[in-house]
Structure 1
């Protein structure tokens, strides 16, 4: 049965200029797109209220982390601005006052955003509860903080050695843990104490993110940092699909983990379908917010502080061999310009092993000058670039504190990239973004178009792009980064996954974009979300 839809404005996602006013859907796919005046006079029509867009693709998010934090408290701006407001937010968590084994959880704190400009400790979180474990993950998802009870449950005390490549924060005596968990190894120690609710419960929690993503108009998701120590994420996502996960999903394994905990071989069947393995994930540097992103020139106020490199040539070679063997993408976290340059140096002259999608993805791509953008464009390797203007929007304070004027001028140069790079997308990195609603696509689009931060500070307006271009970087252009061939546009043959929104972002003043909300989301022709 064919259903006909009309709307005053339909952005098709095919390019910057193609709009329509009607389309037809049959068996979950678009069969015709055109003008309402061309519809037969004798057909029933569903009239859609508000502009229509293709469903969004978040090509760099962390779906299992989102599942973990759906019931956690947001501990970041604009909700939390100081340590007292962080404590207050955690005190109203639904679990507060429950049993001694029930965890109180939050996410998203960033010490640079707190009025005190310090990391909260166990003493602060003990004000939330001394009987229940309290844990808050940092905005970068690498580190965290916990209270005394959580330290006890994790077996962390003065005699506990620091994990390799990580550290437990210590009191002034240098030995007593203070509840600060620095980097993955320390963070994981507490998360392991919290434990998993079990495979079936985790699958149901992942399936429950369907509504979270649908509320934001997102129909295609990724999990960019799968750590298969408890179970293989192929199995988890497939089970979640059986439990009702509707979004198409692509999985990226943490390459460091699978070197220690090998997964079963990836076969062709694993790489197709609505849930599929897409690649492996590595880190080429740290973050700009804590000056560990690898830069060509020193950070502001320093003569020699240029960050850190975390991907030696031997690691890149191992990843290359693995990706070629199994026909996978390599996705590299790379924020500083020197880190990005190192990837171009190593991979740039190699032949791609994938043809339909980029073989190498550069994630975040925070600092790039025009010459580096041109090198990526001219390389023999088919690079993809994912960028995050939402970081600069939400974390302006730390960026302006850490970066020199010339470095800031090269931060997230989306306009330069849009005109040169074929494979380019905007993404959220949710929940590793210092914002209370980190995968609000309209916040990201707002930042890319207006180039102002959350507090109104300018963030290099010369790199502003149009609304149409920004939407494309979440739809038609975003699908060039990974294998979502049926998504990203409204055209015959594509999956009928589309949204309606609350206002016409193409004609309203651009400063209002951030106020836009999704009113309805359809996936495969089914209405799965309607805003009350």
Structure 2
């Protein structure tokens, strides 16, 4: 099935390559640079023309210039590189907005959170700022014990040193854990009598009863995130900031995976008021009560309304490998403190519940995105998909296994047979590669994390993602990580899983558009497709792979409208972003 779909894409590419300029002429023509089309039938072009937000000509210079008319704007690329706008295969734009208004606790190179003392210092500075003062909360995002000098999370007492009066809440970089100070625990109603929820864990102090502040999985989602409830006005502003961050990194389409009721209502309001900067496709949590009604609304569509649509549903089956909560078939290389040697993490849901939710999605014809980091969680999905397919028949559902970090070779075979597309979190090779090699998986399993080359050898379509705000929504960082698989310590994690640059580019453009059922409109530079474009200072196909991370996004263009322009070509600091609104 994957092969037939790939051939269909190629036939569409050939037809588009044969088309010529529209008779009404171009609004804008781009030339004098490298135009990388991500179209196998026409891999590069000398010029490209746009009219009404869509591409009307792409090819030789004189062919495209034939569409020039009075008033046509001709853009001299000055040797820079034009590509299709990047398509987010998996991320959380709404949470990226939350990250934007929180203290940055990320470790280097993305922040300064390298020790518990550093976290305390960053939080104390944030506590004196406008957000903490106006909202009476100290909120931080991005701590990672794998990168802290102490190799552990801070305790509630250490967060009490930031403030005893205000709630202090910090979010793990994975988003699957968090730490609360004593005041926040009190507000959340957590104490020595509190029980662990299904699929979650409240870490305890030496007495085995008193919460130490660290909450895992469902305990964190319900209690910790439950304390973070911005006003409608503040939430709308957060979602706009999340879009701006995506545009800064060249993304013209974003995803809000595992979206909640509040985020969906806010996205609808933003789209209706013309405040969408990029296209946003939402996947609400299938386990939540609000989802069934939402999936009957007109927002569930393959077409966008004002830049927003609901594309399907999300199901989460386990946690994160870096947080040692992913559900594995074999024990962690080094179990968490206090856990037995055979500790394998744990599932978010029992097998019966997984089967029920997968069957519901297949029966309703909903596209299903399923979070599985550990291979035991992947087994849960494969088993449920096997049963649901037998019951409802094969169809072009484009079910996606999100992360697929520890997926085995036999599981890839089953996924290919069941038409389950892997969306890999290949950035782990850089951000947590050393941690996986030494702590979570060990050297053998660590080498195979996010095995995209294994999927490519099977000629499977797959995508790569950033899972923002777990990592910045940085397409260039994805490219560098999956091509080089270089860790923070400069080790190469699984050299046989490194991808060619052209394949890596497809995984964040054309194949990501296909994953969203949008390959006819996005993902490559072809006549008739949207003029979703990104301008880079260098051509990733022409520089050494060791230099990929140095590439900078100079401009992002959505449907022919510039939505981001870099103020400088030095560094990746935020620069100019357009105001939200459709072209």
Q: Tell me the SS of whatever aligns to 1:90.
A: helix
**Are 1:318 and 2:360 counterparts?**
no
For 1:454 and 1:16, the matched residues in 2 are separated by 38
The aligned counterpart of 1:80 is: 113
Task: Tell me, yes or no, if the aligned pair for 2:200 and 2:348 is still in contact at 8 Å.
Answer: no
**Are 1:46 and 2:80 counterparts?**
no
Q: Label 1:234 to 1:157 Cα distance change in 2 as closer, same or farther (>3 A).
A: closer
RMSD: 2.7
Superposition TM-score, scaled by structure 2 size: 0.82
The aligned counterpart of 1:397 is: 434
For 1:169 and 1:311, the matched residues in 2 are separated by 20
For 2:242 and 2:159, the matched residues in 1 are separated by 28
Gaps of 5+ in 1: none
The aligned counterpart of 2:534 is: 499
The aligned counterpart of 1:484 is: 518
The aligned counterpart of 1:385 is: 422
Q: How far off its partner does 1:347 sit?
A: 1.9
Task: Tell me, yes or no, if the aligned pair for 1:217 and 1:521 is still in contact at 8 Å.
Answer: yes
Task: Tell me, yes or no, if the aligned pair for 1:27 and 1:525 is still in contact at 8 Å.
Answer: yes
The aligned counterpart of 2:547 is: 512
For 1:175 and 1:243, the matched residues in 2 are separated by 51
Q: How far off its partner does 1:285 sit?
A: 3.1
Structure 1 residues 36-92: Cα deviation after superposition (integer angstroms, max 9, x where no partner): 243437655211241111111111101111111111122122121111111222233
Q: Label 1:317 to 1:141 Cα distance change in 2 as closer, same or farther (>3 A).
A: same
Structure 1 residues 88-120: Cα deviation after superposition (integer angstroms, max 9, x where no partner): 222332754863852222111121221111210
Task: Tell me, yes or no, if the aligned pair for 2:198 and 2:218 is still in contact at 8 Å.
Answer: no
Structure 1 residues 200-225: Cα deviation after superposition (integer angstroms, max 9, x where no partner): 43233213322111001011111111
Task: Tell me, yes or no, if the aligned pair for 2:436 and 2:442 is still in contact at 8 Å.
Answer: no
Q: How far off its partner does 1:157 sit?
A: 4.3
For 1:191 and 1:291, the matched residues in 2 are separated by 20
Structure 1 residues 117-147: Cα deviation after superposition (integer angstroms, max 9, x where no partner): 1210222223333343321111221221122
Q: Tell me the SS of whatever aligns to 1:389.
A: coil
Q: Label 1:459 to 1:329 Cα distance change in 2 as closer, same or farther (>3 A).
A: same
Q: Label 1:189 to 1:339 Cα distance change in 2 as closer, same or farther (>3 A).
A: closer
Between the two proteins, the alignment pairs up a number of residues equal to 520
Note the 1:116-515 alignment, pairs <5 A: 116-158=150-192, 160-198=194-232, 200-228=233-261, 231=262, 233-241=263-271, 242-258=273-289, 263-267=293-297, 270-274=300-304, 275-300=308-333, 304-348=342-386, 350=389, 355=395, 357-358=397-398, 360-377=399-416, 379=417, 381-400=418-437, 401-433=439-471, 438-485=472-519, 486-515=521-550
Q: Label 1:123 to 1:383 Cα distance change in 2 as closer, same or farther (>3 A).
A: same
Structure 1 residues 211-265: Cα deviation after superposition (integer angstroms, max 9, x where no partner): 111001011111111232xx4x44321212225122212211212223x875345
Q: How far off its partner does 1:496 sit?
A: 0.5
**Are 1:58 and 2:88 counterparts?**
yes
The aligned counterpart of 1:522 is: 557
Superposition TM-score, scaled by structure 1 size: 0.90
Q: How far off its partner does 1:386 sit?
A: 0.2
Q: Label 1:270 to 1:123 Cα distance change in 2 as closer, same or farther (>3 A).
A: same
- Aligned to 2:38, which of 10, 13, 24? 13
Q: Label 1:151 to 1:376 Cα distance change in 2 as closer, same or farther (>3 A).
A: closer
For 2:356 and 2:225, the matched residues in 1 are separated by 29
Q: Tell me the SS of whatever aligns to 1:459.
A: coil
**Are 1:35 and 2:60 counterparts?**
yes
Q: Tell me the SS of whatever aligns to 2:312.
A: strand
Task: Tell me, yes or no, if the aligned pair for 1:7 and 1:51 is still in contact at 8 Å.
Answer: no
Task: Tell me, yes or no, if the aligned pair for 1:13 and 1:472 is still in contact at 8 Å.
Answer: yes
For 2:105 and 2:393, the matched residues in 1 are separated by 42
For 1:466 and 1:158, the matched residues in 2 are separated by 53
Q: How far off its partner does 1:499 sit?
A: 0.7
Q: Label 1:171 to 1:251 Cα distance change in 2 as closer, same or farther (>3 A).
A: same
For 1:344 and 1:165, the matched residues in 2 are separated by 20
Task: Tell me, yes or no, if the aligned pair for 2:404 and 2:422 is still in contact at 8 Å.
Answer: yes
Q: Label 1:194 to 1:346 Cα distance change in 2 as closer, same or farther (>3 A).
A: closer
For 1:513 and 1:16, the matched residues in 2 are separated by 25
Structure 1 residues 175-219: Cα deviation after superposition (integer angstroms, max 9, x where no partner): 444322232334432433342312x43233213322111001011
Q: Tell me the SS of whatever aligns to 1:508.
A: coil
Q: Label 1:103 to 1:490 Cα distance change in 2 as closer, same or farther (>3 A).
A: same
For 1:304 and 1:313, the matched residues in 2 are separated by 21
Q: Label 1:156 to 1:203 Cα distance change in 2 as closer, same or farther (>3 A).
A: same
Task: Tell me, yes or no, if the aligned pair for 1:348 and 1:376 is still in contact at 8 Å.
Answer: no
Task: Tell me, yes or no, if the aligned pair for 2:38 and 2:84 is still in contact at 8 Å.
Answer: yes
Task: Tell me, yes or no, if the aligned pair for 2:359 and 2:384 is still in contact at 8 Å.
Answer: no
Q: Tell me the SS of whatever aligns to 2:493.
A: coil
Q: Label 1:234 to 1:353 Cα distance change in 2 as closer, same or farther (>3 A).
A: farther
For 1:140 and 1:91, the matched residues in 2 are separated by 23
For 1:383 and 1:161, the matched residues in 2 are separated by 36
